[in-house]
Chains A and B, each alone.
Chain A
Amino acid sequence: MTCTALLVGVGEVGTRAARQLVDTPALTRVLLADEDEERAVRVADALGDKAAVVPFRPGHAIPADVDVVACALPTGLDHAVVTAALEARVPCASCDDDHDAHEAVRALDRNARTAGVTVAVGCGLAPGLADVLVRHAAATFERVDEIRVARTGWAGPACVAAVRHERRATARAWHEDGWREEHPHGETLVWFPDPIGARDCRVVTGGASLLVDAFPRTRRIRVLLGEPPRRARLRRRFGDDGQWGAARVDVWGRRDGSHDCVVYGVVERTAVAAGTVLAVTAARLGGALGPRLERPGVHGLAALCEPVPFLTELAHRGVRAAVFEGAAVG
């Protein structure tokens, strides 16, 4: 049996996703597409015989014989690829972390259900792995009251631009069964696992809607995002080979008649974590990691993935999460 993946975009995240896809034994071919075709050729050459470059661009029809599509494109470009995937009835995963981009793809939910195609959005560090950790934590409660997801870290220049845009945009949070506009006064200090430690974060809309889809009865859902350094682009040019990132998930709920909190965290290079999550999700959608993951519609990973097999696969690939034991504060 053959399984072919099409990876669109080989930037910081896409390159890592490509490596992970090539390292998935059941995937027999990995097709790479990027606006910068020279870069795509260089990446394909480095990955070996399994990888090849195709002249695909957002808006083109999905090439024949593709079993799954993975998108690692700058914000907003994945909509055209998802549309093409739906027309070709091929499952698709995207790591875009911008709220507006999520909404654009979520608007295709009805089309995806009609076509019987599964589309996974927000397949990065947060949203993405953080959402899986939220579901993992939520399983320990009889009722979930509040979810808070925080992230610091960014991959390439496109990701830095998306983070800046998200932090500037009007923030909305889920509060008592409805959306409420947030007017945060300054930053909130969030404690991530070592060695990241404490970072200033701001409330953003982010991937909150994906969490609301998965946990509609939760009273309060907030997403916070750290501030990228002002000179990230310049630092990268002088040899910084990647930014470390972190995510922290706080889930409050009730169990055994008392109120409790579970805190999970993860520290990894943001591009590595996002690329690995995107590749594992795409491999599962394509049936290259066990049974094909099928749930027609557009979903975030909290709604789509069983946490334990997903975390097992990520740990096998070197991306590991941690739990905070002690006083859950901050």
Chain B
Amino acid sequence: MRAFRRVVIVIGLAGLIGAIARLRGKGGVPPTSGGWRELEAPEFR
């Protein structure tokens, strides 16, 4: 019974950690300065 409880706890913890990691994604830091500006004719720079 104790072994069964341990297995359940381990699987639960693994699932929780996996879900958090999945939600957080990987890499990608929000831009902290600057922003988007529409490109304008004639150079579109």
Contacts and interface: CB of A to CB of B under 8 A. Distances in A.
**Same complex:** yes
Interface stretch (A53-61, A75-83, A270-278, A307-315): A307-315
Contacts of B31: 191, 324, 326-330
A188 B25 contact: yes
25 contacts: A185-B26, A186-B26, A188-B25, A188-B26, A188-B28, A189-B28, A190-B28, A191-B28, A193-B36, A194-B36, A198-B28, A198-B30, A311-B44, A312-B44, A315-B39, A320-B39, A322-B39, A323-B45, A325-B34, A325-B36, A326-B33, A326-B34, A327-B34, A329-B29, A330-B30
Interface in B1-45: 21-22, 25-39, 41-45
Contacts of A323: 36-37, 39, 45
Looking at chain A's contact residues, is the secondary structure mostly helix, strand, loop, or mixed?
A: mixed
Contact of A265 (B34, B36, B41, B43): B36
A187 B26 contact: yes
Given A312-B44, A320-B38, A191 B30 contact: yes
A215 interface: no
Contacts of B30: 191, 198, 329-330
B27 A311 contact: no
Interface string A287-330: 00000000000000000000110011001000011111111111
A136 interface: yes
Interface in A136-194: 136, 140, 185-191, 193-194
A29 to B, nearest CB: 30
Looking at chain B's contact residues, is the secondary structure mostly helix, strand, loop, or mixed?
A: loop
B38 A327 contact: no
Contacts of A311: 39, 44
A329 B30 CA distance: 7
Among B29, B37, B39, B41: residue with most chain A CB under 10 A: B39
Given A326-B34, A330-B31, A200 B25 contact: yes
B39 A321 contact: yes
A189 B44 contact: no
Given A187-B26, A320-B39, A328-B34, 9 more contacts: A140-B45, A194-B36, A200-B25, A312-B42, A315-B41, A324-B31, A324-B35, A326-B31, A330-B29
